[in-house]
Amino acid sequence: MTKPTPFKVGEAYDTFADLLDHLMGVNLHHGYWADDTSDESFDVATTRLTDKLAGLLTIRPGDRLLDIGCGVGEPAIRLASAHDIEGVGISIAPGQVERANDRAAAAGLADRLSFQFADAMDLPFPDESFDLVWALESLHHMPDRWQVVREAARVLRPGGRMAIGDFSLRSVDGKPADASSCDLVRMGALKLLEVDDYQSNLRAAGLVPEAAEDVSDRTRPSWGKAAERFEAARELAEQHIGAEQFEVTLSRFRQFSAELQFEVTLSRFRQFSAEPSVGYVLLTARKPD
């Protein structure tokens, strides 16, 4: 299985937008859950993960933020509102960009927060133009995540920081880390790294690793809860967007990868939920002064 190109990923996000909204809310990333049995909404849990990553940074009023893989803008909007900062979010999904700009305007932030279509592997920004670069659950989509990190380092100002939330590979109970039982890992579509490898590559890009927090146990329930929602997706989606539009959306989604059939996707959610070597890490790194 070959990894979808970034622009195919973006097209898929736009095609499946209504259903993703209904299933996962506005953040489009994992949640930080109290425990496996929590009945909190995805919006509550995913917002908590945004706040958890932001809490690992020092964010000053007036800082300039770049959000790589901005989705429909919710994390950037939350950061701009909470910390009085300005910024830019980028996505390779034009529909996401349009919705994010609409949401920023509705939040009264259009004067200091905007979103645009751009490729994270070739950022259209000058050197040293941001104080913060934010990449929450977006780097795993990139054909070369280290090219994105190098680009992030380039546009960071000296003393600026990068914040990352990403899937990771971790050892459990002293056993070697091995997630090869998961289809997407075994087939090379999702590359997982141990935290030490991640930090080595951050250093190679000219950044100094700082915080590294394993939040696997708190994010893992997201897979099972997503599977529950996905299993009920046909009925829910038909109520939300109508049966005809659901079939069109599902058909288009399958065009991007023949592997992503409904039952296969559900199975893979469950694989990740059951595999303890599939972890989740929050990282920060600083560009030297």
Domain extent at residue 169: 29-219+276-286
Picking from 149, 28, 17, 152, the residue whose alpha carbon sits closest to that of residue 94 is 17
**Maximum C-alpha span of the chain:** 56
- pLDDT tens string 29-50: 889 998 766 778 888 999 999 9
Give the CB-side neighbour count of residue 74, counting CA atoms within 13 A. 18
Q: Given this model, what pLDDT does residue 115 score? A: 98
The rounded distance, in Å, linking the Cα atoms of 104 and 287 is 29
Residue 49 located in a structural domain:
yes
The rounded distance, in Å, linking the Cα atoms of 207 and 216 is 24
Residue 261 located in a structural domain:
no
The rounded distance, in Å, linking the Cα atoms of 92 and 10 is 5
The rounded distance, in Å, linking the Cα atoms of 65 and 78 is 12
Residue 168 located in a structural domain:
yes
Residue 87 located in a structural domain:
yes
Q: What is the CATH number of the domain that holds 63?
A: 3.40.50.150
**The two structure tokens encoding residue 77:** 């909007």
- List, for the chain, all residue ranges whose pLDDT scores fall below the cut of 50: 1-4, 7, 10, 12, 240-241, 249, 252-260, 266
Q: What is the 3-state secondary structure (H, E, C) of the chain?
A: CCCCCHHHHHHHHHHCHHHHHHHHCCCCCCCCCCCCCCCCCHHHHHHHHHHHHHCCCCCCCCCEEEEECCCCCHHHHHHHHHHCCEEEEEECCHHHHHHHHHHHHHCCCCCCEEEEECCHHHCCCCCCCEEEEEEECCHHHCCCHHHHHHHHHHHEEEEEEEEEEEEEECCECCECCCCCCCHHHHCCCCCCCCHHHHHHHHHHCCCEEEEEEECHHHHCHHHHHHHHHHHCHHHHHHHHHCHHHHHHHHHHHHHHCCCCCHHHHHHHHHHHHHCCCEEEEEEEEECCC
14-47 b/e (C-beta count within 10 Å ≥ 16 → b): bbbbebbeebbbbbbbbbbbeeeeeebebeebbb
Q: How many domains is the chain built from?
A: 1
Residue 226 located in a structural domain:
no
Residue 230 located in a structural domain:
no
Q: Given this model, what pLDDT does residue 258 score? A: 39
Residue 138 located in a structural domain:
yes
Burial of 272 (0-12, 13-18, 19+ CB in 10 A): buried
Crossing angle of helices 17-24 and 6-15, in 10° steps, is 70
Residue 251 located in a structural domain:
no
Picking from 9, 6, 41, 40, the residue whose alpha carbon sits closest to that of residue 24 is 41
